[in-house]
Amino acid sequence: MSGKKILLTEAEVPQKWYNVQADMPKPLDPPLNPATKQPIGPEALAPIFPMALIEQEVSTERWIAIPEEVMDILMIWRPTPLVRAERLEKALGTPARIYYKNESVSPPGSHKPNTAVAQAYYNKKQGLKRLTTETGAGQWGSALSFACQMLGLECTVYMVKVSYQQKPYRRSMMHTYGAEVFPSPTDRTNAGRGILAKDPECLGSLGIAISEAVEEAATRADTNYSLGSVLNHVLLHQTIVGLETKKQLEKANDKADIVIGCVGGGSNFAGMAFPFFPDKLAGKDIRFIGVEPCACPTLTRGVYAYDFGDTAQMTPLLKMHTLGHDFIPPGIHAGGLRYHGGAPLLCALINQGFIEAQAVHQTAAFKSALQFARTEGIIPAPETSHAICVGIQEALKCKETGEAKSIVIMFSGHGYFDMGSYDAYLAGKLQDYEYPAELIAESLKKLPQV
Ligand SMILES: *Cc1c(COP(=O)(O)O)cnc(C)c1O
C-alpha cells in the first residue's frame, strides 16, 4: 500500500525542465512578423523579453537546468503532493485509480508561479527593474506579483476592469505582494487612451490589457513584459509538474494510462503531459486529454492556422488552434479558460494526433467540482473543474468495462477566490452556452492571410 499522498523529498525534485521540442516528430512552424508575414528571428522579441527566455523559446535541447535561485523559491511549496482520490473512487464505485497532482498548494494557489518565478529570475538577472503583465481572473497577476516580490522586482498589472470590480480579493492579493494594479483600459497608455476616447465606460478585455502591458514594456528600458501561458518557455517551466508526477507514480508502483488537464492557453496541461510524451513515442499506451469549455471551444471547433495572439494585432502570428483574434467568449466562470488561441506546442501535437481535446459545459464542470469537494475536500478552481469532469467520465467508463485504469488529473488550482461562482451554481443560476457555429465561422473569416 503506497498511501494516500505520494510525496517526494526536496532532494528528489527534478533539477531540469523537459523540452518537448527535442522530441517533436516535426519541428514547430516559426512565428511570423505580423506585417511582412515572414518568419521572425529571436531578436524581434528582445524589446520585451530577456535573452535567456528567448533562447528557451527556440531551444531544441532536451533538458534545461533549473537555476538554483529559482529552485530555492520553488521549494517554498514544491514538491507538491500526488494524491490518490480514494474517496472519490469509492463514491463513483469505479475500479479505476484516480490520482490528482495538487498544484493548488503554491502561495498564490495555482500552477502559475512555476513559470512566474523563473521569468522574474531571468529578467532580474538581465538587469530589468520592472515587469508588466495583464490579468483577467487575477490568477496570473497574483502569481507574477508574488514572484516579483520574491526576486525584488517591481510589478505592474493591467487587470481587465470588469474583473477588477468583480474580484476584489485577487486584487487585494496582488497589493499584498506589493504590485501596482490598474483597471484596464487606463489613461496610462496610447492603447488604453484610444479605447477610452471611443468608449469611456469600456469594461476592458484581455486583448486590451495585453496591448497596454506590452506597450509599457516596449517603451521603457527598465521594464519587460511577462506572459503566463501559450509561449514555449512557459510550457517548459511547467514541466516540473509532470516530471515530479512520473517519479511519484514510480514510487507508488503505478503508471499513467490517462493524463487529463484543463486548457486555457495550455500551460498547466502541457506541463503535466509533455514529460510523458517520450513514453508515448516509444509505444506506450497512454492517452492525453485536454479539456476546454464548450463556450470557448478553441481546440475542438477552432481551426489550426496562423493568427494574432491579441485583439490589437500587435503580437507575432503563431500557428495554433484559434477561434479568431477578435473572438469574444461569453462571460463563463472559468475566466482562465477564455482565450481565443492555444499554445503552439500543444496545438501541434494535437494536430499530429498525439493529444486529444474535449469540451465540457460549465454546469457539468461545477457538478463535478462539487462531487470532488464533497469527497476529497478541496474546492477546485472553476478552470480545474473541467479536468475533473472528464476524469470522472473516464472513471465511470471503467466502471462499465471493469477496467482498472490509472487516471492522472492535473489539479491546477483551488477555487477559494471563486466562491461567487459556486454561489451562482448552487442557486441554479449558471447557464450553459454552446457557441453558435455561424459566429465562429464569422470570426474565422478575419484570420490573417498567410
Ligand atoms: C490560468 C489557469 C488555467 C488556464 O491556463 P493554462 O495556461 O491553460 O494552464 C487553468 N487553471 C488555473 C487554476 C489557472 O489559474
Q: What is the 3 state secondary structure string of 336-351?
A: HHCCCCCCHHHHHHHH
383 pocket-lining for ligand 1 (C-beta < 6 Å): yes
Host H or E run for residue 133: strand 130-135
53-67: average pLDDT: 97
Taking the C-alpha atoms of residue 378 and residue 416, their distance in angstroms, rounded to an integer, is 9
Helix, strand, or coil (residue 365):
helix
In a domain, 41, yes or no: no
What pLDDT is stored for residue 3 in this prediction? 75
In a domain, 335, yes or no: yes
Radius of gyration of the chain (CA): 21
In a domain, 281, yes or no: yes
DSSP secondary structure letter of residue 266: S
413 pocket-lining for ligand 1 (C-beta < 6 Å): yes
What pLDDT is stored for residue 233 in this prediction? 98
Helices (H), 5-160: 51-58, 68-74, 86-92, 113-125, 139-151
Lowest mean pLDDT among 16-30, 102-116, 340-354, 434-448: 434-448
Please report, for the domain that includes residue 363, its CATH number: 3.40.50.1100
421 pocket-lining for ligand 1 (C-beta < 6 Å): no
110 pocket-lining for ligand 1 (C-beta < 6 Å): yes
170 C-alpha to ligand 1 centroid (Å): 15
What pLDDT is stored for residue 328 in this prediction? 74
pLDDT in tens, 349-383: 999 999 999 999 999 999 999 999 999 999 999 99
229 pocket-lining for ligand 1 (C-beta < 6 Å): yes
Locate cell 508526477: which residue? 245
Q: What is the DSSP string of 136-196?
A: SSSHHHHHHHHHHHHHT-EEEEEEEHHHHHH-HHHHHHHHHTT-EEEEES-SSSHHHHHHH
104 pocket-lining for ligand 1 (C-beta < 6 Å): no
Overall number of domains in the chain: 1
Taking the C-alpha atoms of residue 174 and residue 112, their distance in angstroms, rounded to an integer, is 14
267 pocket-lining for ligand 1 (C-beta < 6 Å): yes
Cα dihedral across residues 74, 77, 81, 82: positive or negative:
negative
Taking the C-alpha atoms of residue 216 and residue 132, their distance in angstroms, rounded to an integer, is 7
Nearest residue CA, atom 3 of ligand 1?
Answer: 336
Taking the C-alpha atoms of residue 413 and residue 12, their distance in angstroms, rounded to an integer, is 23
Whats the size of the chain, residue-wise? 450
174-193: average pLDDT: 96
pLDDT in tens, 285-330: 999 999 999 999 999 999 999 999 877 787 899 999 999 987 777 7
In a domain, 393, yes or no: yes
1 C-alpha to ligand 1 centroid (Å): 33
User: How many helices and strands (H and E) does the chain possess?
Assistant: 18, 15
Lowest mean pLDDT among 21-30, 188-197, 308-317: 308-317
Range of the domain at 270: 4-11+67-107+232-444
> At residue 2, does pLDDT exceed 60?
no
383 C-alpha to ligand 1 centroid (Å): 6
What is the b/e burial string over 391-400, where b = at least 16 CB atoms within 10 angstroms of the residue's CB?
bbbbbeebee
DSSP β-ladder status, 16-18 and 63-65: antiparallel
pLDDT in tens, 141-183: 999 999 999 999 999 999 999 889 888 999 999 999 999 999 9
In a domain, 113, yes or no: no
Query: Residue 112 half-sphere exposure, CB side, CA atoms within 13 Å?
Result: 29
* Phi, psi angles (nearest 5°) of residue 449: -80, 120
Host H or E run for residue 134: strand 130-135
Lowest mean pLDDT among 42-46, 119-123, 223-227: 42-46
In a domain, 428, yes or no: yes
Taking the C-alpha atoms of residue 226 and residue 158, their distance in angstroms, rounded to an integer, is 12
28-42: average pLDDT: 92
Q: Give percent of the chain with pLDDT exceeding 90.
A: 84
> At residue 424, does pLDDT exceed 90?
yes
Q: Give percent of the chain with pLDDT exceeding 70.
A: 99
DSSP secondary structure letter of residue 246: H
* Phi, psi angles (nearest 5°) of residue 135: -145, 145
401 C-alpha to ligand 1 centroid (Å): 32
324 pocket-lining for ligand 1 (C-beta < 6 Å): no
Which of 105, 110, 296, 299 has most ligand 1 atoms within 8 Å of its beta carbon, as the pocket-test mutant?
110
322 C-alpha to ligand 1 centroid (Å): 17
What does the mean pLDDT of the chain come to? 94
321-341: average pLDDT: 81
> At residue 265, does pLDDT exceed 70?
yes
266 C-alpha to ligand 1 centroid (Å): 7
CB atoms within 10 A of CB 138: 29
- Confidence class for position 1, pLDDT limits 50, 70, 90: very low
- The reported pTM is 0.97
262 pocket-lining for ligand 1 (C-beta < 6 Å): yes
What pLDDT is stored for residue 54 in this prediction? 96
Query: Residue 258 half-sphere exposure, CB side, CA atoms within 13 Å?
Result: 27
In a domain, 297, yes or no: yes
In a domain, 409, yes or no: yes
pLDDT in tens, 100-145: 999 999 999 999 999 999 999 999 999 999 999 999 889 999 999 9
Hey, which residues does 126 pair with through a beta bridge?
Answer: none
Taking the C-alpha atoms of residue 14 and residue 285, their distance in angstroms, rounded to an integer, is 24
Atom of ligand 1 nearest to the CA of 230: 7
